[in-house]
Amino acid sequence: MDLDVNEHEIRRNGFSVIEDVFTDTEVETILTAINNTNPKNETFRKSNDLFAIRQFLKEVPDAIGIVFNEKLKKIIKRLFGEDYFLVKSIYFDKPATSNWFVSYHQDLTISVDQKVEIAGFGPYTNKHNQFSVQPPLNILESNFTIRIHLDDTNEENGALKVIPNSHSKGMYRPETINWDVEQEVSCNVARGAVMIMKPLLLHSSSRTTNNKKRRVIHLEFSNQLLPKAIQWSEYLNFEQQSKTN
């Protein structure tokens, strides 16, 4: 891994792909842990187009020690530093026949434990008993996301499409995208690889057309302390937790 290259790509483009972070055995172990969970829990969402597990690492704690293997911890420390912690985890299973797609957007909210009126935070939403709020811009700018791919993913089964460097332009409304200037890139990612991205990167996801699954673990990280009145709804010091699993 030449992490200097990845660091430059994240700073310049807002994303980067790192190959061979997880072995086939590790991927299969994670999938086995998922299959052993109770799909009737309220944090699970299942439809013809999507199977999702919110607060994934709380629901599937057996996966923590594998997800945070030595390679991933090295990547996080080298690219972002020692002070980051996990604040959100979701498992997405896009079935082979899925017609689900997501249009271009930025990830502008964080998950918190309750709704409290605080200057700079808002508006709030509440979906599936989970509060989300748009925080001040500096929090979004410092956060990052890691997407662990459990299947080979390309344009035909829902690979993310992104607009490089859009993360550096603050709030960027999708309807204002100037396609004479911007370009779209498909982030094809192999099984066992990870994609790292900044929340303000404009991204979208297409329908599946090749009858292949797209299973991804979506992890969000921050090093920011929130006002005392609210807390991150999901907090994990992965360095300490992975040592106990």
Is residue 230 situated within a structural domain? yes
Cβ partners under 8 Å of residue 210, min gap 6 = 154, 156, 157
Is residue 159 situated within a structural domain? no
Is residue 146 situated within a structural domain? yes
Q: What is the pLDDT of residue 49?
A: 61
Q: Give, in order, the Cα–Cα distances in Å from 113 to each of 45, 64, 74, 88, 116.
A: 20, 22, 30, 12, 9
User: 16-37: per-residue pLDDT in tens?
Assistant: 999 999 999 999 999 999 988 8
Q: What is the pLDDT of residue 44?
A: 67
Is residue 183 situated within a structural domain? no
Q: What is the pLDDT of residue 82?
A: 94
Q: What is the pLDDT of residue 106?
A: 98
d(CA 19, CA 194): 7
157: phi then psi, degrees, rounded to nearest 5: -135, 40
The range of the structural domain enclosing residue 29 comes to 3-94+108-152+191-200+208-240
Is residue 184 situated within a structural domain? no
Is residue 166 situated within a structural domain? no
Owner of token pair 């991933």: 72
Q: What is the pLDDT of residue 47?
A: 64
Q: Model's pTM, two decimal places?
A: 0.94
Q: What is the pLDDT of residue 3?
A: 96
3-state per-residue secondary structure call for the chain: CCHHHHHHHHHHHCEEEECCCCCHHHHHHHHHHHHCCCCCCCCEEECCCCEEEECHHHHCHHHHHHHCCHHHHHHHHHHHCCCCEEEEEEEEEECCCCCCCEEEECCCCEEECCCCCECCECCEEEECCEEEECCCHHHHHHCEEEEEECCCECCCECCEEECCCHHHHCCCCHHHCCCCCCCCEECCECCCCEEEECCCCCEEECCECCCCCEEEEEEEEECCCCCCCCCECCCECHHHHHHCC
Is residue 169 situated within a structural domain? no
Is residue 102 situated within a structural domain? no
Q: What is the pLDDT of residue 176?
A: 95
User: How many folded domains does the chain comprise?
Assistant: 1
User: What CATH number is attached to the domain comprising 22?
Assistant: 2.60.120.620
Regions of the chain where pLDDT drops below 50 = none
